[in-house]
Amino acid sequence: MKWKNQILNLEAYKPGKTIDEVKKQYQLDTIVKLASNENPYGYSPKVDQALRNFQASFILYPDGNASNLRDTMAGHLKVDPRQLIFTNGTDELIQIISRALLEPGKNTVMANPTFSQYKHNAVIEGAEVREVDLINGEHDLRGMLSQIDANTAIVWVCSPNNPTGTYIPKEALQPFLEQVPNDVLVVLDEAYYEYVDKDVAYDSLALIDQFPNLIIMRTFSKIYGLASFRVGYGISSIDNIQSIEPTRPPFNTNVLGQLAASTALLDQKFVENCRSKNEVEKQKYYNFCQENNLGYYPTQGNFILIDFGLDGDSVSQFLLTKGIIVRSGKALGFPTGVRITLGLEEQNQQVRNAIKECIELNSFIK
Ligand SMILES: *Cc1c(COP(=O)(O)O)cnc(C)c1O
């Protein structure tokens, strides 16, 4: 077969262990899965209602334009409906943006570590990947600027950043955007936008009017609690969206996903409720880390990266034996860390108890 050279050594995405696998392996009844930053509080109850009342046929293709979701979103964000693109999760938006702009001879700039799919898709398209190490868990925007040249097509900025949770303040992002050449697309990944503290959050959408080379990505997979429906979206200038559209598969979002997303969007009370509960749980983790001398990054997402100073795989393996699934930092570019999704109050307590056990065991071995 004549596979692209660049995919010969590329690994397929490895999702964490499933709940069923862990139950079986360790003979446990209940499993706490806090590995993929899903919403532990579920999703708006209005979604169940809407799905129950759903009447249309499954025979027909879905509305390829996602018209109802588009109009609802445009009204919610106060943008022109033509400024929006809907995709099968943000993952697909990353894929089609890469497909539209990257090819051999071009390069793309991103932080390290950051969300893995930027690099993955760049490699598939045969583009050069330029990674700039984080400084104290934060994007080194100056370093990223210095990597941009005439062949740079995309710069990826993840805020809050996965896996560190750090948020780029407006005072840093604005001058960065002013210095990126205007023929370089800046992708601002805001998968966790709705979790950001009210007192530091800013209106990033206003930057789109100011910077025509900016596209913002958001998703229904995180705070909206609808990961299984696979709905993500992009917001940019009408021109940029028009240019990207031909690379989008025709019926990429499905009929139930569109309905679930547009219904969930109208329940902002639910969203606010999740944000404030997350805030409370976050604070308990901070206190715990301080009491136990564990390093961590202040997070603006629904997850926390804790530095154990130990092999991340062995910590997550220990937690697994307690029925707790988290993400080892090893696979995320933080070998001594573990990324933990903030779960329900009692789940988080269970995690902290297990961590405490792990630390005690380790200091005993040392
Ligand atoms: C979860 C996540 C995504 C992907 O979300 P989907 O919409 O489910 O594809 C994108 N970016 C970041 C930073 C994420 O954490």
- 189 with 90: CB under 8 angstroms? yes
Q: Name the percent of the chain lying above pLDDT 70.
A: 99
Same domain, 131 and 178: yes
- 133 with 164: CB under 8 angstroms? no
Same domain, 111 and 185: yes
- 359 CA distance to ligand 1 middle (Å): 31
Q: What is the pLDDT of residues 195-227, one digit of tens each?
A: 999 999 999 999 999 999 999 999 999 999 999
Last residue of a domain, one of 267, 284, 306: 267
Pocket lining: 115 vs ligand 1, CB cutoff 6 Å: yes
Q: How confident is the model at residue 249 (pLDDT cuts 50, 70, 90)?
A: very high
Span 282-298, average pLDDT: 97
Same domain, 57 and 185: yes
Domain enclosing residue 342, as ranges:
5-43+269-364
Closest by Cα among 70, 129, 141 to 104: 129
The CB-side HSE value for 33 (13 A sphere, CA atoms) comes to 15
Same domain, 223 and 277: no
Number of independent structural domains in the chain: 2
| CATH code assigned at 122 | 3.40.640.10
> Burial code of 154-183, b = ≥16 C-beta within 10 A, e = fewer?
bbbbbbbbbbbbbbbeeeebeebbeebeee
Span 355-359, average pLDDT: 93
Q: How confident is the model at residue 151 (pLDDT cuts 50, 70, 90)?
A: very high
Ligand 1 atom closest to the CA of 222, numbered from 1: 1
| CATH code assigned at 320 | 3.90.1150.10
Same domain, 161 and 309: no
Give the model's pLDDT for residue 364.
61
Give the model's pLDDT for residue 363.
74
- Say what the pTM is: 0.96
Pocket lining: 83 vs ligand 1, CB cutoff 6 Å: no
Angle at 239 between CA 234 and CA 242, to 5 degrees: 65
pLDDT(362) > 60: yes
> Strands 337-341 and 303-307, how do they pair?
antiparallel
- 352 CA distance to ligand 1 middle (Å): 26
Pocket lining: 234 vs ligand 1, CB cutoff 6 Å: no
Closest by Cα among 233, 180, 181, 173 to 201: 173
Span 313-337, average pLDDT: 94
- 366 CA distance to ligand 1 middle (Å): 38
Pocket lining: 301 vs ligand 1, CB cutoff 6 Å: no
Same domain, 225 and 113: yes
pLDDT(337) > 70: yes
Q: How confident is the model at residue 292 (pLDDT cuts 50, 70, 90)?
A: very high
Same domain, 39 and 146: no
- 36 CA distance to ligand 1 middle (Å): 9
Atom 11 of ligand 1, nearest CA residue: 191
pLDDT(366) > 70: no
Same domain, 334 and 354: yes
Ligand 1 atom closest to the CA of 93, numbered from 1: 9
Same domain, 53 and 119: yes
- 324 CA distance to ligand 1 middle (Å): 22
Last residue of a domain, one of 231, 249, 267: 267
Pocket lining: 89 vs ligand 1, CB cutoff 6 Å: yes
pLDDT(109) > 70: yes
Task: Please give the residue that has the higher pLDDT: either 28 or 91.
Answer: 91
Ligand 1 atom closest to the CA of 219, numbered from 1: 7
Closest by Cα among 313, 323, 308 to 359: 308
pLDDT(8) > 80: yes
- 315 with 291: CB under 8 angstroms? no
Residue type, 62: P
Q: What is the pLDDT of residues 46-68, one digit of tens each?
A: 999 999 999 878 999 999 999 99
Last residue of a domain, one of 267, 284, 316: 267
Span 72-80, average pLDDT: 98
Q: Which residues pair with 138 in a beta bridge?
A: 135
pLDDT(248) > 70: yes
pLDDT(365) > 90: no
Same domain, 211 and 70: yes
pLDDT(77) > 90: yes
Rounded Cα–Cα distance for residues 34 and 127 (Å): 33
Same domain, 53 and 131: yes
Task: Please give the residue that has the higher pLDDT: either 360 or 186.
Answer: 186
Work out the mean pLDDT of the chain and round it to a whole number.
Answer: 96
Pocket lining: 91 vs ligand 1, CB cutoff 6 Å: yes
Atom 14 of ligand 1, nearest CA residue: 191
Same domain, 55 and 173: yes
- 165 CA distance to ligand 1 middle (Å): 13
